[in-house]
Amino acid sequence: MRVVIVEDNVVLAEGLKLLLETSGHEAAAVLGDAEGLVEAVDRHAPDIVIVDVRLPPTYRDEGLRAAIQARRARPDLAVLVFSQYVEEVYATELFTDGARGVGYLLKDRVARVDEFLGALDRVAQGGTAVDPEVVHQLLTRRQHPLSRLTSREQEVLALMAEGLGNGEIARRLVVTEGAVHKHIGRIFTKLGLAEGDSGHRRVRAVLAYLGG
Amino acid sequence: MLVEQSVRGWRAARYLLLTLATGMAALPLLPLLVLPPVLGQARRWAEWERGRAHAHIGADYAPLPTSPMPERVAERLRYVLRDPGTWRSIRGLAVHALLGTLVGIVGLLAALGVPSALVKVAVWWAVPVPVTFVGIPAHGWGSALIGGLAEVVGYGALFLWGAPAVVGGYARLTARMLSPSDAELRADRLSERVEELSHTRAEALQAHGAELRRIERDLHDGTQARLVALAMRMGIAERMVADDPEQAVRLLREARGNAEGAMAELRDVIRTMYPPILTDRGLNGAVSALGARCTVPTRVRTEELGALPAAVEAAAYFAIAEALTNAAKHAAATSVDVAIARTGATLRIEVTDDGIGGADDTRGTGISGIRRRVAALDGTASVVSPVGGPTVIRVELPCAS
């Protein structure tokens, strides 16, 4: 994978670069702020862009805004927003324009290298990756429409929101793929998602999940 | 009109007669003012006299605040001598003894002039000494009646118009003389404010100290300990990697667990210090995020707040978070309304829920936590929560920047 990294913290940027290069990927460019992002994307044609939320000049949420803007300019661009802390509203904003090729993860997740690279790969392929912390924030809502789901169904949906496929979900929950399939069917029914393109329903389920 | 004027005359005469009595009583007291108990009485008298004067001229009267006296005699003496109220009372007493006695005599004349003239007209012929009317001895009924009429008219005019005028002037003089000046009142208010501020400042310092200790403890017991454990495992793994790679991998996995734990704890500590979303989005954005996350449907009404001090933002954020938690957890509310507004140098927050009410400081630590945090910034917090609801939590924070 060719990756463009937008991260102002040199230690973290170097760490990410090391992690990518030792895993056989290429860090095409490391930017200190989001200003040249679209230009760098045009020049390097990366498979994915990793963007920190807090960036110069104001150190607020310009990374998040830059990611949203970059995706408006280049809808196919895969973006992983990477942050020291996660906020549900940020996830909602990030996924409003569609969940294809979008990820939102805590920086903590680099500690589990395989899972992190898996998520990176998934997002680059057009999947989604949502941090379990965001999912947790969403699930603590008592009157959420999703409260109709059983706890197992919620677990399945949480893993779907993280962008995992049925096989991987089955492995994580230590159940058969058939059982996962049934759970997903019931989730679609309970969320009122009509039959149709199953991939599309999947995204809509995740969006219902994120949008509240 | 004449009746009305008579009532005024009578009121004035009564006031002046009382003035005469106190003025004459004050005269012999003047030298005794060196005695502390007499001085204390003088202050009490001054306050009474001031109240009387205010009542007469129909001005608003507010009793002067009495500050507690120091315990020890020497300190009390120094306090009394330094207090401007003491000197005001002494000055007032001296003026009252002299001028008060004089105007009191006017009152006496006004009150007794007409009756005494009538009595004189009735009895002048029967008494052995010559009776004078307007300074002229009466020689016959003619001169007695004319002289008596002149005295009745003169004293009557004094009673009806003279006394009210004199008493009006004297009451105004007394009120002005015995009331503290504007500058003095300002100084009083200032010293009160200083006392209040040193109190809240002490509380703020205490709260700040407690907060620092909590952060230190969290970092020391949590994050730092985990980092030590992590470094230790990595060090051992480094030595083992050649001989026992399997064991080394296990240790590295544990070390990663330590790192994850440290990161999660660090995030929690940072969140309790100053929630990062405040930096990113300001108070309005952060509160909107809080509302979106609340389990009870929440409406946030807000306006442009301008730049706010970080401590005020954090206190406001935590107060609202706490109020929302209360509404969701204890109040069984179905909707919450959050209003944030800034008027000048005051930030006002109002959180209203339609729950069961009955919230008070004793139940849970939420509301008293809000109060402490807000008081530390010289703000105020109030909770109105009748049984049956609704609950309204109001917070005001000074935010001069």
Residue by residue, DSSP assigns A142-170 as TT-GGGGS-HHHHHHHHHHHTT--HHHHH
Going along chain B from its start, the domains and CATH numbers come out as 2-180 (no CATH), 186-273 (1.20.5), 277-398 (3.30.565.10)
Q: What is the chain B residue with the closest CA to A89?
A: B289
Tokens, residue A31? 């930017």
Domains of chain A: total: 2
| A180 shares a domain with A124 | no
Note down the domain range covering A198: 141-211
pLDDT higher than 80, residue B335: yes
Domain boundary among A105, A131, A157: A131
Whether B227 has its CB under 8 Å from any CB of chain A: the answer is no
Q: Classify each residue of B183-213 as buried b or exposed e, where b means 16 or more C-beta atoms within 10 Å of its C-beta.
A: eeeeebeeeeeeeeeeebeeebeebeeeeee
Q: What residues contact B225, with CB distance under 8 A and at least 6 apart?
A: none
| A68 shares a domain with A15 | yes
pLDDT, residue B66, reads 63
Taking contacts as CB-CB distances below 8 angstroms, the residues of chain B near A60 are: 279-281
pLDDT, residue B393, reads 93
pLDDT higher than 80, residue A194: no
| A205 shares a domain with A116 | no
CA pair distance B114, B70, nearest whole angstrom: 53
Task: Give domain status of residue A112, yes or no.
Answer: yes
Query: How many other β-carbons are positioned within 10 Å of the β-carbon of residue A110?
Result: 18
| A102 shares a domain with A23 | yes
Domain boundary among A131, A152, A167: A131
CA pair distance B212, A79, nearest whole angstrom: 39
Query: A60 and B281: CB-CB below 8 Å?
Result: yes
CATH number of the domain enclosing A200: 1.10.10.10
- Alpha helices (runs of H) in B219-353, residue ranges in sequence order: 225-240, 245-273, 276-293, 310-329
| A162 shares a domain with A198 | yes
Taking contacts as CB-CB distances below 8 angstroms, the residues of chain B near A144 are: 295
Tokens, residue A124? 């680059």
Whether A108 has its CB under 8 Å from any CB of chain B: the answer is yes
pLDDT, residue B350, reads 95
Whether A96 has its CB under 8 Å from any CB of chain B: the answer is no
Tokens, residue B366? 């939420």
pLDDT higher than 80, residue B330: yes
Helix, strand and coil in chain B, % to nearest 5: 70, 10, 20
Q: Which amino acid would we find at residue B269?
A: V
pTM of the model: 0.65
Q: What residues contact B188, with CB distance under 8 A and at least 6 apart?
A: B65, B180
H/E element, A64: helix A62-73
pLDDT, residue A144, reads 59
Residue B191 CA: distances (Å) to CA of B72, B80, B161, B197, B261: 22, 17, 45, 10, 51
Query: B280 and A53: CB-CB below 8 Å?
Result: yes
Please, are residues B61 and B51 in contact by the beta-carbon 8 Å criterion?
Answer: yes
pLDDT higher than 80, residue A73: yes
Domain boundary among A131, A154, A171: A131
CA pair distance A13, A24, nearest whole angstrom: 17
Tokens, residue A142? 């008592």
Gyration radius of chain B's alpha carbons:
39
Tokens, residue B48? 């009474």
Whether B281 has its CB under 8 Å from any CB of chain A: the answer is yes
| A111 shares a domain with A157 | no
CATH number of the domain enclosing A65: 3.40.50.2300
pLDDT higher than 70, residue B14: yes
More confident residue, B134 or A166: A166
Task: Give domain status of residue A64, yes or no.
Answer: yes
| A170 shares a domain with A70 | no
Q: Classify each residue of B348-379 as buried b or exposed e, where b means 16 or more C-beta atoms within 10 Å of its C-beta.
A: bbbbbbbbbbebeeeeeebbeebbbbbbbbbb
Residue B61 — φ and ψ, nearest 5°? -120, 125
Q: What residues contact B199, with CB distance under 8 A and at least 6 apart?
A: none
Whether B331 has its CB under 8 Å from any CB of chain A: the answer is no
As a whole-number percent, the residues of chain B with pLDDT over 70 amount to 96
| A157 shares a domain with A69 | no
pLDDT, residue B69, reads 65
| A127 shares a domain with A38 | yes
Query: A60 and B289: CB-CB below 8 Å?
Result: no
Place of tokens 């009776």: B131
What number of C-beta contacts closer than 8 Å exist between A and B? 45
SS3 at position B294: coil
Task: Give domain status of residue A148, yes or no.
Answer: yes
| A180 shares a domain with A116 | no
Task: Give domain status of residue A136, yes or no.
Answer: no
| A57 shares a domain with A34 | yes
Whether B328 has its CB under 8 Å from any CB of chain A: the answer is yes
Query: A143 and B296: CB-CB below 8 Å?
Result: yes
pLDDT tens digit sequence for B359-399 = 876 666 678 888 888 887 888 999 988 888 799 999 999 98
Closest CB to B295: pick one of A60, A106, A141.
A141
Tokens, residue A135? 């999912």
| A90 shares a domain with A146 | no
